Copies of this chain bind each other. A is one copy, B any other.
Amino acid sequence: MILEGELPLGGVVNEVVIAQRFNVSRGPVREAVQRLQGLRLVTREPYMRARVVSLSTRDLVEIFQLREAVEGMACRLAADAMSDEALAALMKELEETRRAGLNAYQPEGGPFDLHQRIALACGNERIRHLLAEELYHLLRLYRRRSGAMPGRREQAFDEHWQIVRAMFNRDPDLAESLMRSHISRATAALIASMERKEVSTEPEAPDAA
């Protein structure tokens, strides 16, 4: 419901309503909400209503800093762990997406997401979970609100290409460095974009009447 936009960003989460919405009792809903709290998708304080995260600029920058570190390490590990065949397949898919994708690109779950693929292939289950389960949903949530920024797609393709090339050459140091630069640039573009059009992540102007 959060990812589908059925629950607005700063909105409150009413356990009873959710329970009726799914024809279930409050118990399972409580457990689900607590798992979402574990994933930092909702915040909660004792006896207060649970709220969907608001995704402030600061939150996004923090997430991107964490991604820079962890995805860099995932890239390093994957450069060692992936087989030659898997790397070749990765390059092939990337090239296909580049050719076909510039006009018709399915944003839904992505037919090809390099970051996701690297996280899945890095061989470290804990890192995989952090990137592919915990942070992935937050990024989807953000992208859904504020669309991609123009012009960065082609640049991102080039950077992806260099990353995969470094992995193919079995150069973990370079692969990690390139991935970190890639995410760092994305962070800078993000900050610039946010500052330009102070996107309304505010829940709703309270505006006490």
Contacts and interface: CB of A to CB of B under 8 A. Distances in A.
Interface in A85-122: none
22 contacts: A30-B31, A31-B31, A34-B34, A34-B35, A35-B38, A38-B38, A59-B126, A62-B124, A62-B126, A62-B127, A63-B126, A65-B77, A66-B70, A66-B73, A66-B124, A68-B73, A69-B69, A69-B70, A69-B72, A69-B73, A69-B127, A70-B70
A2 interface: no
Interface in A66-81: 66, 68-70, 72-73, 77
Contacts of A154: none
B34 A66 contact: no
Given A35-B38, A65-B124, A69-B127, 13 more contacts: A27-B27, A30-B31, A31-B31, A38-B38, A62-B124, A62-B125, A66-B70, A66-B73, A66-B127, A66-B130, A68-B73, A69-B70, A69-B73
Nearest to A30: B31
Interface in A1-58: 27, 30-31, 34-35, 38, 40
Contact of A73 (B34, B59, B65, B77): B65
Interface of A: 27, 30-31, 34-35, 38, 40, 59, 62-63, 65-66, 68-70, 72-73, 77, 124-127, 130
A62 B63 CA distance: 21
A126 B38 CA distance: 12
